Amino acid sequence: MIPLSRPDITEKEIRRVNEVLRSPYLSGGTALKEFEAKAARVAGTKYAVGVSSGTAALHLILLALGIGEGDEVITTPFSFVASANCILYVGAKPVFSDIDPQTLNLDPKGVQGKITPRTKAILVVHVFGFPADMDEFRRIAAENGVFLIEDACEAIGAQWRGQPAGGLGTMGAFAFYPNKQITTGEGGMVVTNEEEYAEIVQSLSNQGRKPDNSWLTHERLGYNYRLDELSAALGCVQLDRLPEILAAREQVATWYQEELRGVPELNLPQHRLVPGVKPSWFLYVLRFSSREFRDRVAAALTEKGIENKPYFPAIHLQPFYRRAFNYQGGEFPETERAADTCLALPFYNKLRREQIRAVGNIIKKVVGSK
């Protein structure tokens, strides 16, 4: 049995979380402040605000930017559903635009044509930890006077032309669910260079209180999206270990590449890298020449106890989106083709060389090159 993902927790994390447990401060203490300072450093931003999930981070970003009823946000249908749901939370409309089949990220060429007077923001997702074309998106956002939001929930530590993902737009989000590169159990982070937005997010995450935290004064309609001290302490050690963790993941990706390169019918993630980009490996997602091959490989792996998942199903074809917006299929052909042909393999830091060989052998057997 090989699982799809596994967190990488050492004695250091366990010790640090235990220190919190032995203290009287389980929420609203110093570990959160430390975690935020470290996250701002990783994103290259002035401010970072820890919150209870990546989804909460995205929700608060849209609220802080004043996006709401009657507004449109352009985004990708090839992502985890939260990157589109957050637009619906604030009463705005997600306007999907198709992906570039080469990178699987939102295609800047399609985005320009979707801009209307109602457009308030472009919400870019760095899919599988590979940064989207931020030069183009920054240009389009600036020329049209709209915000640029980065869903960097899969891309902590990635770089676009030497600049860290998350800090390239108006505001960015990270997520720390256990399948991400680093985890806090549940948790997320908002990063930005704008003091005003950081303050609003901080307040919204804490029941609308002022930054001075006067306990029972509520300035605005807020939420409880706070990150507790146990999670933040775990996050501090995980972030300290980020370089080591990303290097281990890169090694695993390289082993997969050694195992699978040259296999016909296969497009490896390494083929999707563009020059000047340093990915942060989130998943190892193969792309097959047809849905039939993908499904046969998935079945063969599952039969041998090797977990795999068809990442991502298209958001616009999720039952809820079909019902709410009457999508039928065919609207975003590149996204739908990717959704039909992509498969995520087991991918985590401690995956061993021989396990990768075993996975590779099953794939090669099905595809017929062995």
Ligand X SMILES: *Cc1c(COP(=O)(O)O)cnc(C)c1O
Q: Which is nearer to ligand X, 255 or 282 (CB)?
A: 282
Contact 164, 140 (CB under 8 A): no
Helix/strand/coil (H/E/C) assignment for every residue in 221-282:
CCCECCCCHHHHHHHHHHHHCHHHHHHHHHHHHHHHHHHHCCCCCEECHHHHCCCCEECCCC
Q: Which is nearer to ligand X, 149 or 367 (CB)?
A: 149
What tokens does 160 get? 């676009």
**What single-letter DSSP state applies at residue 317?**
G
Site string for ligand X, 188-217 (x = CB under 6 A): x-----------------------------
Q: Which is nearer to ligand X, 182 or 266 (CB)?
A: 182
238 part of the interface to ligand X, by CB under 6 A: no
Site string for ligand X, 36-75 (x = CB under 6 A): -----------------xxx--------------------
Q: Find the shortest distance in angstroms from Cβ 261 to ligand X.
A: 27
Residue nearest to ligand X (CB): 54
79 part of the interface to ligand X, by CB under 6 A: yes
174 part of the interface to ligand X, by CB under 6 A: no
Taking CB under 6 A as the criterion, the residue among 98, 107, 151, 228 binding ligand X is: 151
Tokens 């705005």 belong to residue = 92
Edge-to-edge strand list for the sheet holding 266-267: 266-267, 284-288, 342-345
158 part of the interface to ligand X, by CB under 6 A: no
Q: Find the shortest distance in angstroms from Cβ 187 to ligand X.
A: 7
84 vs 218: CA distance, rounded Å: 29
Taking CB under 6 A as the criterion, the residue among 78, 80, 256, 311 binding ligand X is: 80
228 part of the interface to ligand X, by CB under 6 A: no
- 363: burial class by Cβ within 10 Å (0-12, 13-18, 19+)? buried
Site size for ligand X, by CB under 6 A?
14
161 vs 1: CA distance, rounded Å: 39
Q: Find the shortest distance in angstroms from Cβ 181 to ligand X.
A: 11
Nearest to 126 by CA among 178, 89, 49, 180: 180
Q: Find the shortest distance in angstroms from Cβ 49 to ligand X.
A: 14
Q: Find the shortest distance in angstroms from Cβ 87 to ligand X.
A: 12
Q: Find the shortest distance in angstroms from Cβ 128 to ligand X.
A: 9
202 vs 57: CA distance, rounded Å: 10
Contact 184, 238 (CB under 8 A): yes
Edge-to-edge strand list for the sheet holding 277-278: 163-164, 159-160, 277-278
Q: Would you mind telling me the total number of residues written for the chain in this entry? A: 370
83 part of the interface to ligand X, by CB under 6 A: yes
Q: Find the shortest distance in angstroms from Cβ 188 to ligand X.
A: 5
Q: Find the shortest distance in angstroms from Cβ 114 to ligand X.
A: 20
Q: Find the shortest distance in angstroms from Cβ 79 to ligand X.
A: 5
Nearest to 152 by CA among 184, 124, 121, 122: 124
Q: Which of residues 119-148 bind ligand X (CB under 6 A)?
A: 125
> What's the CA angle centered on 51, arms 55 and 165, to 5 degrees?
70
Q: Which is nearer to ligand X, 185 or 295 (CB)?
A: 185
Q: Which is nearer to ligand X, 129 or 222 (CB)?
A: 129
Handedness of CA 257, 258, 259, 261 (dihedral sign): positive
Residue 121: half-sphere exposure toward Cβ, Cα within 13 Å: 33
154 part of the interface to ligand X, by CB under 6 A: yes
175 part of the interface to ligand X, by CB under 6 A: yes
- Part in contact with ligand X (CB under 6 A); list of ranges 77-85, 90-98, 112-120, 284-292: 77-85
Q: What count of other Cβ atoms lies within 10 Å of the Cβ of residue 370?
A: 11
Taking CB under 6 A as the criterion, the residue among 43, 48, 64, 82 binding ligand X is: 82
- Positions in the binding site for ligand X (CB under 6 A): 53-55, 79-80, 82-83, 125, 151, 153-154, 175, 177, 188
